[in-house]
Amino acid sequence: MLEVTLSAGEMPPGVTVTFSPSVLRFTGNQVSSQTATMTVSCNGLIPIDCFPFTITGTSQREVLTVTNEVLYSAEFLATRPATLMIDRMANDGLRIRGAGATGKTYQIEAASSLVDANLPQTTPNLINPVWTPVDPPPPMPMPVHLFHHPAGGHPTRFFRAVTSAGPVSSQ
C-alpha cells in the first residue's frame, strides 16, 4: 500500500487550505488515479489577485511538489481593465469584488437603471444613466472587496468601476 499525504505551501495571510481526503491510499500494483478536493478558505477580506502556491504530495519514500506559476506580465498588471464580480449574500446584500490595473484607484458606482428617464421612450435612451458612488465612497485601489446593501429597495442595480485620480483627501 502507498499512502500520499497532501498539503499546501505558503498562502496569503488569512488563507487556509484543506484537502478531502487529505491522504490518498493506493493498493495493488496497477496504475490508478484518485481525486482529492482542495478547499481554500479565507477568515476575512483579502485582496483579489493572483497568488503563486505549492501543493505537495508526501509518501514514505518520496516528496513531490507542484508550484502554481502566475504568468501575468508586468505590462498586463499595469494596464488590465477593471473587472467587477458580484455575489448575492444570504442576507440579500451584495459582495462586490474587483480587480484592475496595479497602482490605479477606482470609484465603484451604481445605477438603478441604464435608461435616462428624461428622454422619450422612442429615443435610444441608454445614454446617460445616473451613477452614484457605492459605500464606501472614497476611491479605492484594486483589488477591492466590499459589501453593499442596496438602498431604497432597488430590484435591479448596475455597477461599474471608474478610474479615479486617487484617494479622496481628508483635509
pLDDT attached to residue 48: 58
Specify the pTM.
0.49
How big, in percent rounded to 5, are the helix, strand and coil portions of the chain?
5, 40, 55
Range list for CATH 2.60.40 in the chain: 2-68
DSSP 122-135: TS---S----EEPS
pLDDT attached to residue 113: 74
pLDDT attached to residue 165: 65
pLDDT attached to residue 28: 82
| pLDDT, mean over the chain | 76
Tens-place pLDDT, residues 27-52: 888 888 899 999 988 877 666 566 77
DSSP label of 152: G
d(CA 101, CA 86): 19
CATH 2.60.40 matches 2-68: yes
pLDDT attached to residue 65: 93
Mean pLDDT by 10-residue block, N- to C-terminus, for the chain (171 residues)?
92 88 90 90 70 89 87 78 80 76 80 68 61 70 59 67 60 35
